[in-house]
Structure 1
Amino acid sequence: MGSEGIFGAIYYLLFGGIIGYNLNDQIGMLPGQPVVNFRQFSGYINIDSNATRSLFYYFVEAEEDPLDKPLTIWLSGGPGCSSVGDSFFGVGPFIITSNAHGLKRNPYAWNKVSNMLFIDSPVGTGWSYSNTKRDYQVGDSSTNSDLVIFLLKWFEKYPIFKYRDLFLGGTSYAGHFVPNFAKTLLQHNNQSKIYNFNLKGIVLGNPVLRLKLDILAEHELYVSKGMIPKKLYKLILKQCFEIDENNYSDNVAPWSQSCQRPMRKSLMIAFNVTSVQEAKQRQFDFRRTPCDGKIEDLISGKEVTKITDEVDMCIPFRTNFYFNIPEVQKVFRGNRTNSRYPWMSCFPGLNYNLFDKDTDMLPTLKQILLHSVSITIFSGDEDGAIPMIGTLKHVKMLAKDMNLNLTKNEAWHDREKKEGGWLYSYEDLLTFMTVKGANHHVPFSKPSQALFIFRKHVFYAITRLLNEAHN
């Protein structure tokens, strides 16, 4: 071994293996896990000094050369959906096997290009908890504050990543979590003379950006697909006339009853069901039907799958089962409060501030772009919850407000030459990509295309910023 190799080995041992990592949180092997060449860590970060409020995390090294790769923080939406659980839907290194008692490698894992940190946030999500009841009354502000404290304390445990290129990503209501988080980190950089977060970019999948308009876009999508009659859609527009793309406000009033009635009718007609609740369960993929697996089959060791158009719709169902296996919880060191409630990928009882959900996120995205931090947004074209047609309008509005020129308007394909969708790029700073055949969760339904977007976003953003620095 040459001198450079010896130095590299010593550096990795000291800073990558001992000083730079919190080895107490290292996971040996998850139950049923195949052998891998990267390390995994999980545990809690105490948000307050008395350890009464803690966020759970799962950290996965990049498959190769983790000390040379960026750090990406992944946040799931909901609000109330576990980012740790979400890592087993298509972003993380593993997928739950068909009988839900083991794991298999994810060929499109995002740790092929980045170190990945998954955080269960806000409090009440996944294994994150508080011993104080009022802490479960959460909103955008409290969630963001906890995330900032979390990251600073996480860097104390993993200082080797403190100065690494940083990316933030997530889906759905992460359209609030991620921009708010990014904005706060950039504000810190403007004020601090000691340490700056090395934020390079954010990536958002099917994000909630202007919720009231996103809801109206649902019905625009349904009428465009012939799922509801045009007469019903015109009635919705007539009764829900309070806002449009040009006058969206954070202070929009709740929908009137005369507006809600035709919208409820539209949902039930669109999905040919008799209840709004059932329709909302179908919104996330308006073409494929949900998994209808039975827990008794998984308990007995049977395989439970439902593959439609190459998508196994039962992966979330099996993930819920796997995370409730006692040995899995033991290895993860999750559920340290010994909660008697089952682990849920999405917690329906989260008490989240309703007014925060209507917040217009375009001003926050604008502030991020003004710091030359790139934003990539991707959207599955078979998502009926946050439709692509609505998000594209928001992106165009943001580009217009910032006088960003459309520099690319073209079809795209992934590395395997699979059809991707359509690409809109505004001066390589703001990018919107549609994903053909993808539902509300693109990494779950179209993992190859999702990895391509992430790979292109991460490395292109770094290259562009480095070139700007040299010029």
Structure 2
Amino acid sequence: MPSSLSFRASLALSLPSTTPGSWNSGNGILRRVLMSVLTINEDTGKKLLYYLVLSEGNPSKDPLVLWLNGGPGCSSFDGFVYEHGPFDFEKTKQRLPKLHLNPYSWSKVSSVLYVDSPAGVGLSYANDISEYVTGDLKTATDSHDFVLKWFELYPEFLSNPFFIAGESYAGVYVPTLANEVAKGIDTGVKPVINLKGYMVGNGVTDKALMAMHLFRLPMGWALSQMNCIRRRTKLQEVDRQVKGLNIYDILEPCYHDSAAKDATDNKIRLPSSFLELGGTERPLPVRTRMFGRAWPLRANVREGIVPTWPELLSSLTVPCTDDEVATEWLNNEAVREAINAKPKNVAGDWELCTDRIKFHHDAGSMMKYHRNLTLKGYRALIFSGDHDMCVPFTGSEAWTRAMGYKIFDKWRPWISNGEVAGYTQGYENNLTFLTIKGAGHTVSEYKPKEALNFYSRFLAGKAIFNN
């Protein structure tokens, strides 16, 4: 660990045992977590909160990965708390959780920089609320400004391989930000960033290939064993047929623990073997229900306003909604002080997905961004839980194929822990498509071991199908 960063990290975040949310394994890992806010616009007081988790390997050489959750309007604490952060959060009878080490944290092989973006999301904020009117392109330039300023603060990371990753609506955030970073590199913007590639999980990409309900039909038919719907049936009828399903994992009810099987809607008749497929090795059922980190189900990605989840609540019931653990933890003032976040009277309440922003989709299809980046030599991994019905793998498979690149590695299984964990296909220009068997919309929440496996192999530049 670079000595200067070690010193700053130990000052910035050393959560003592007296901090609400007890820590049961000592404070060693806490010295590898740095949380703070970074001002990217002095005039408007626009500040983005970040939280850096140093690699458990060699932070001075291991890759640095910037992680973004989607929404738009959803906090990257979602990834930190519920997916691949350093801790598992155990619910207690008290209001605050206990913290345990996450054996599948992505910090096992890399440093991870979680960022709440754009301003107004999570614990990022601005003094001038006009900054909360934003969109794809402004978010990308703001995030690029953040990246440049962050590397100026921590130049010890400039030589580390740098990757950008995210899921869901971050299927827009990631390639647009990566494109800004790549343009900066090409034009000699300082500091020079060692960008190597990017990853997108179950990501929004192209309205023609991703947002159409037609790509949800095969999953609804094949996996839920519903009655056949004739081809001429209206899409509204399809919606009616699938509305009882968990759109984030077609085979699961809204729960992770074993008792949930008894709570399954009796209208959804799934074989027990199908329910087992949707099982998870997550050691603690921290999310009794899952909130939609997805771009909203019926809000197709087209030019103009993209409604946030809260904006849809009056007209659309959001399925499987619960963010209790993170909400209780991040709205505790002692916790916020310990993690260097601003109090509620400055940054507002933490919400998993906010309606504080007004967001415009103004970047068009992401395929042109992917083409630009991959033709420049940047490595791209497009991964997809194969039981997600919100952004189905069929759409991701379609757009990666539609890039027109030659197939470099034919469709084949990839292995994790001696078992087939999904399927992958490699294209020329360093583009890889990957499915994760049994995973829903948030892959590492469902399949943490498999997620760490493919993540590790991709960062190391290895073929994912190699065990």
The DSSP-based 3-state class of the residue aligned with 1:183 is helix
Residue identity over aligned pairs, in percent, reads 26
Retained in 1: the 8 A contact 2:400–2:433? yes
Count residues with an aligned counterpart.
Answer: 397
State the alpha-carbon separation in 2 of the partners of residues 117 and 84 from structure 1. 11
Retained in 1: the 8 A contact 2:124–2:347? no
Match of 2:350 among 343, 348, 361: 343
The code of the aligned residue for 1:457 comes to F
State the alpha-carbon separation in 2 of the partners of residues 178 and 107 from structure 1. 26
2:451 corresponding residue in structure 1: 450
2:22 corresponding residue in structure 1: 32
From the CA coordinates, give the structure whose radius of gyration is larger: 1
Retained in 1: the 8 A contact 2:249–2:387? yes
User: Residue 309 in 1 paired to residue 299 in 2?
Assistant: no
1:219 corresponding residue in structure 2: 217
2:108 corresponding residue in structure 1: 112
Q: Give 1:64 deviation, angstroms.
A: 2.3
1:321 corresponding residue in structure 2: 328
The code of the aligned residue for 1:314 comes to T
Counting only pairs closer than 5 Å after superposition, residues 1-20 of structure 1 correspond to structure 2 as: 12-13=2-3, 15-18=4-7
Retained in 2: the 8 A contact 1:200–1:373? yes
Retained in 2: the 8 A contact 1:69–1:114? yes
The DSSP-based 3-state class of the residue aligned with 1:138 is strand
Residues 189-198 or 124-133, more deviating: 189-198
State the alpha-carbon separation in 2 of the partners of residues 441 and 382 from structure 1. 10
Report Cα offsets for 1:278-319 as digits up to 9, x if no partner.
Answer: x6xx311222222599xxxxxxxxxxxxx9723534274322
Retained in 2: the 8 A contact 1:86–1:345? no
State the alpha-carbon separation in 2 of the partners of residues 193 and 266 from structure 1. 50
1:284 corresponding residue in structure 2: 248
The code of the aligned residue for 2:102 comes to N
State the alpha-carbon separation in 2 of the partners of residues 434 and 170 from structure 1. 16
1:405 corresponding residue in structure 2: 407
Report Cα offsets for 1:338-376 as digits up to 9, x if no partner.
Answer: 2595321122453111455xx211110000001111101
1:188 corresponding residue in structure 2: 184
State the alpha-carbon separation in 1 of the partners of residues 334 and 439 from structure 2. 34
For residues 103 and 165 of structure 1, do their structure 2 counterparts lie closer, same or farther at Cα, with a shift above 3 Å needed? same
State the alpha-carbon separation in 2 of the partners of residues 193 and 150 from structure 1. 14
Retained in 2: the 8 A contact 1:85–1:126? no
1:56 corresponding residue in structure 2: 49
The code of the aligned residue for 2:12 comes to D
User: Residue 210 in 1 paired to residue 210 in 2?
Assistant: no
Retained in 1: the 8 A contact 2:379–2:430? yes
Q: Which runs of 5+ in 1 are unaligned?
A: 1-10, 237-261, 273-278, 294-306, 463-471
State the alpha-carbon separation in 2 of the partners of residues 326 and 309 from structure 1. 35
Counting only pairs closer than 5 Å after superposition, residues 64-83 of structure 1 correspond to structure 2 as: 64-83=57-76
The DSSP-based 3-state class of the residue aligned with 1:268 is helix
Which of the two has greater helix per residue?
A: 1
RMSD: 2.7
2:240 corresponding residue in structure 1: 268
Q: Give 1:55 deviation, angstroms.
A: 0.6
The code of the aligned residue for 1:287 comes to L
User: Residue 388 in 1 paired to residue 393 in 2?
Assistant: yes
1:102 corresponding residue in structure 2: 98
Report Cα offsets for 1:10-52 as digits up to 9, x if no partner.
Answer: x943x4445xx57653444463233234511111111112361
The DSSP-based 3-state class of the residue aligned with 1:130 is coil
Match of 2:232 among 212, 234, 243: 234
The code of the aligned residue for 2:389 comes to G
Retained in 2: the 8 A contact 1:136–1:350? yes
The code of the aligned residue for 2:375 comes to L
Residues 283-292 or 103-112, more deviating: 283-292
For residues 354 and 369 of structure 1, do their structure 2 counterparts lie closer, same or farther at Cα, with a shift above 3 Å needed? closer
State the alpha-carbon separation in 1 of the partners of residues 125 and 392 from structure 2. 32
Retained in 1: the 8 A contact 2:9–2:32? no
For residues 366 and 64 of structure 1, do their structure 2 counterparts lie closer, same or farther at Cα, with a shift above 3 Å needed? same
